Amino acid sequence: MKSGSLRLDRFFPRFFLGFLAAALLLLCQPAFAEKRVALVLANSAYQNVAALTNPVNDGTVMAATLKDAGFDVVDFRRDLLAAETRRALRDFADRARDADIAVVYYAGHGIEVDGANYLIPVDARLERDTDVYDEAFSLDRILIAIEPVRKLRLVILDACRDNPFAKSMKRTVASRAIGQGLAKVEPSSPNMLIAYSAKAGSTAADGDGKNSPFTIALSRHLTTPGLDVRRAFGFVRDDVLKSTGNRQEPFVYGSLGGDDVPLVPAPARAAQPPAPTAQSEARRDYELALQVGNKSALNAFLAQYPDGFYASLAKLQLEKIAAEETRVAATEKARLAEQERARLVAEGAQKAQQAKADAAAGAAEQARLAAEKAKQIAQDQAAAAEQKRAAAETLPSDKTAAAPAPADKEMNLAALNAGPPQADVTKSVQAELRRVGCLTGAADGDWNSSSQRSLMLFNRYAKTKFDTRLASTDALDAIKLKTSRVCPLVCERGFKADGDRCSKIACAEGAFLNDDNECEKRTARKPVARRDRPEAKRVIARPSHAPTSPRTAAGLPGMGQSGEPLTGEQRVWGCNTNSAIMSGKCP
């Protein structure tokens, strides 16, 4: 018994040590990788409206991007019917049930009816507005499919195109609204983001190439290792604004927590980051507030950091946002005033009413220009402050954060809104001048003498005072407010203005087109006396009582060589000289 008890005493310590070693080994193993799944839907071959070119190309690019990023599941479906779409969503919901990150990307037609968004399969007809409930599937159906996902639910919609269904759809109820683009959404579930290729209520461009500008930017930034998904969409927004000349602005709805949420984890770092300081925490929180980019985020930052360098930056950003809101309101007011003025002119209202409308439109335009200048000043101040911050953050730690930025320091911050390139502004101004009838040339980005004359004409007829030497955003906004032709139509000779086109002038029989470009009746020609031939000599007839001789009578008007009167045929042929008669031409 004693020997047995000794063997058990030896066994239990060895067992305990082995168990402890196994537990430590398990604890030291890296954490299990997150499960990431994606569904890519692309509809191009629509059966009842014109086919789309880019959606399938965009879906192919996004599927390849997510596969290269190491997603566990990437299900790519193209040109699905309504029943096939519902089946694909049901299958994906099963795969996403235990996932940490789920991404759904859709490219194709979408529509908004009464504030709800619907994605349209390729077999939809949508002859009536109520058909969307049967032939399309709502955005909520996608959100339900990814609802069990734990960490991030991301829905990306490249479906803000100009929708042909909305134009031909019959409305069963006159009050039912069918909007342009997609409607704004507010996700009710946490950890959910919904990204639109264009802001709610606006449409997106397919682009001039094989892929849309939105998808090109997504493939460039979305799967950057370690990049928070919110910052990735900030870079996507900047790229799309730049490539479309500020005409298309992507937008993201929803919110996440304070931790970074990248689609692709950052590579492991060898060294631990330094312990955060009060200044570094303020900087981090300021950058997060700047990334959100609205008043609530900046005010929340100021509530936590009321003083200091980053508090001053936040206040400048708030002033920039307020100036932009004022500009938008003033622009809308000017647009409405211009519409009212044009309506009164078209309806032939009284001169007093038209004068009042002209005064209101002029005042609204002046307010818009003042708001534009205030916005530019606020934006310049915020940009200068961000330059100073960028320079300060590159200095050694023993330098003050308020050090001035060098003159040649270039900004490379995604949070700053860079203005559009001058060439894009020039093309946009030329295109708008063509629309209002002030420019006949092409919108080629070359601000030549013809373009300057066209802006001078716009100034004359719209009663504005823009500098014609350069195409500006102020001029662009003012021209966009005009809803109809501003400059009168000028036609070439032989043509006259007929509405918005030139038609050829057809004169009636017996009339001709004069130098004033008008038809004028021809007048009958009166007989005009003609001079004799050059060799004929003008001879004054002698008086009837004067004596004549064969020598003196020859060559007199009406007399022949012998002094005899000329016959009628001789007069017609001009046979009143000796040389003419001798030439043999006279009868």
The pLDDT-based confidence of 405 (bands split at 50, 70, 90) is very low
What's the whole-model pTM score? 0.44
Across the range 216-244, mean pLDDT stands at 92
Any residues with CB less than 8 A from the CB of 250 and at least 6 apart, and which?
195, 196, 197, 198, 199, 214, 217, 233, 236, 237, 240
Tell me the angle at which helices 229-243 and 213-221 cross, rounded to the nearest 10 degrees: 140
Predicted local distance difference test score (pLDDT) of residue 417 = 41
Q: How far apart are the first and last CA of the chain?
A: 174
Is residue 261 packed enough to be buried (19+ CB in 10 Å), middle (13-18) or exposed (0-12)? middle
Q: HSE on the CB side for 567, CA within 13 Å?
A: 5
- Identify the helix (H) or strand (E) that includes residue 176: none
Calculate the alpha carbon distances from 15 to 5, 18, 19, 28 in Å: 15, 5, 6, 20
Which stretch of 105-119, 298-312, 487-501, 564-578 has the lowest confidence by average pLDDT? Answer: 564-578
Predicted local distance difference test score (pLDDT) of residue 287 = 83
Neighbours of 530 (CB within 10 A): 6
The pLDDT-based confidence of 29 (bands split at 50, 70, 90) is very low
Predicted local distance difference test score (pLDDT) of residue 550 = 46
The pLDDT-based confidence of 528 (bands split at 50, 70, 90) is low
Angle at 266 between CA 263 and CA 267, to 5 degrees: 140
Predicted local distance difference test score (pLDDT) of residue 296 = 86
Higher pLDDT, 113 or 225: 225
The pLDDT-based confidence of 400 (bands split at 50, 70, 90) is very low
Calculate the alpha carbon distances from 436 to 368, 441, 450, 477 in Å: 20, 13, 15, 13
The encoded tokens of residue 517 equal 């470009």
pLDDT at 20 over 50: no
Predicted local distance difference test score (pLDDT) of residue 395 = 56
Predicted local distance difference test score (pLDDT) of residue 402 = 41
Predicted local distance difference test score (pLDDT) of residue 75 = 94
The pLDDT-based confidence of 491 (bands split at 50, 70, 90) is confident
The pLDDT-based confidence of 206 (bands split at 50, 70, 90) is low
Question: What is the C-alpha separation between 280 and 297, in angstroms, rounded?
Answer: 18
**pLDDT (tens digit per residue) in 34-65:** 899 999 999 999 999 888 888 999 999 999 99
Predicted local distance difference test score (pLDDT) of residue 42 = 94
Tell me the angle at which helices 278-292 and 229-243 cross, rounded to the nearest 10 degrees: 50
DSSP tag of 213? H
Predicted local distance difference test score (pLDDT) of residue 4 = 43
Predicted local distance difference test score (pLDDT) of residue 582 = 55
The pLDDT-based confidence of 176 (bands split at 50, 70, 90) is low
Predicted local distance difference test score (pLDDT) of residue 532 = 56
Q: Residue for token digits 């100021």?
A: 302
The pLDDT-based confidence of 27 (bands split at 50, 70, 90) is very low
Which stretch of 68-82, 189-203, 306-320, 564-578 has the lowest confidence by average pLDDT? Answer: 564-578
Predicted local distance difference test score (pLDDT) of residue 373 = 84
Question: What is the C-alpha separation between 16 and 24, in angstroms, rounded?
Answer: 12
Calculate the alpha carbon distances from 583 to 350, 550, 554 in Å: 83, 20, 15
**pLDDT (tens digit per residue) in 256-299:** 888 888 999 988 765 566 666 777 788 888 888 888 878 888 89
**pLDDT (tens digit per residue) in 59-99:** 999 999 999 999 999 999 999 999 999 999 999 999 999 99
Alpha carbon 292 to chain centroid, angstroms:
23
pLDDT at 565 over 70: no
Across the range 340-368, mean pLDDT stands at 84
Calculate the alpha carbon distances from 121 to 38, 100, 108, 242 in Å: 19, 28, 8, 31
pLDDT at 14 over 80: no
Tell me what the pLDDT averaged over the chain comes to: 78
Question: What is the C-alpha separation between 470 and 495, in angstroms, rounded?
Answer: 33
Predicted local distance difference test score (pLDDT) of residue 36 = 94
Q: Which of 577, 583, 567 lies closest to 537, judged by CA?
A: 577
Angle at 502 between CA 496 and CA 504, to 5 degrees: 60
Question: What is the C-alpha separation between 98 and 105, in angstroms, rounded?
Answer: 19
- Identify the helix (H) or strand (E) that includes residue 254: strand 251-255
The encoded tokens of residue 368 equal 């818009």
**pLDDT (tens digit per residue) in 140-167:** 999 988 989 999 999 999 887 777 777 7
Predicted local distance difference test score (pLDDT) of residue 19 = 47
State which of 84-88, 180-184, 245-249 shows the largest mean pLDDT.
Answer: 84-88
